[in-house]
Amino acid sequence: MKTNTSTQTKRRFAILEEISRFISKKHLPVKSSRVGGSLAFARNFAITKQSDIDLDVFVPFKKVHNINPLLELLHAERVFAEDEDWGNFDQLASYGEYKGVEINIWIFNADTFEKIACFEKDYLRYFSLYKPSKSKKYSVFGGGRCEIDKKVEKYLDGYSSRRYILHNDDLISENYILNNLFFVFPIYGKSYSDRMVNIMWDAFLTRYPNATEKQILDFIPKKVRERFSPEFHDDFQRRIRNRLKKLHSKNF
Q: How many CA atoms lie within 13 A of 174 on its CB side?
A: 24
For residues 17 and 14, give the distance between their C-alpha atoms in angstroms, rounded to a whole number. Answer: 5
Write down the pTM of the prediction: 0.94
Residue 146 lies in a domain: no
pLDDT at 30: 98
| The pLDDT value given to residue 114 | 95
The answer to whether the CB of 15 falls within 8 A of the CB of 73 is no
* Domain count along the chain: 1
75-133 pLDDT, tens digit per residue, is: 999 999 999 999 999 999 999 999 999 999 999 999 999 999 999 999 999 999 999 99
Task: Give tens-digit pLDDT for 37-85.
Answer: 889 898 878 899 999 999 999 999 999 999 999 999 999 999 999 999 9
What is the DSSP code (8-state) at residue 227? T
Q: Classify residue 245: in a domain, yes or no.
A: yes
Q: Is 143 among the domain residues?
A: no
Lowest mean pLDDT among 14-23, 99-108, 125-134, 209-218: 209-218
140 located within any domain: no
Is the residue at 75 inside a domain? yes
Residue 244 in this model has a pLDDT that exceeds 80: yes
Distance CA 14, CA 147 (A): 39
Determine, yes or no, domain membership for 91. Answer: yes
Would the pLDDT of 205 be above 60? Answer: yes
Q: What is the residue range of 17's domain?
A: 2-111+176-251
Residue 207 pLDDT > 60: yes
Within 8 A by CB and 6+ apart from 76, the residues are 94, 95, 96, 105
pLDDT tens string 156-200: 999 999 999 999 999 999 999 999 999 999 999 999 999 999 999
**What percent of the chain clears pLDDT 90, i.e. is strictly above it?**
83
Q: Taking a C-beta distance cutoff of 8 angstroms, is the pair 47, 38 a contact?
A: yes
Name the band, by pLDDT with cuts 50, 70 and 90, for residue 249. confident
Contact 98, 20 (CB under 8 A): no
Is 131 part of any domain?
A: no
Cβ-count burial 36-64 (b if 16+ within 10 Å, e if not): bbbbbbbbbbbbeeebebbbbbbbebeeb
What percent of the chain stands above pLDDT 70? 97
The predicted structure's pLDDT at residue 1 = 43
* pLDDT, position 250: 66
Q: Is the pLDDT of residue 2 over 60?
A: no
Quick check: is 167 in a domain?
no
Distance CA 25, CA 27 (A): 6
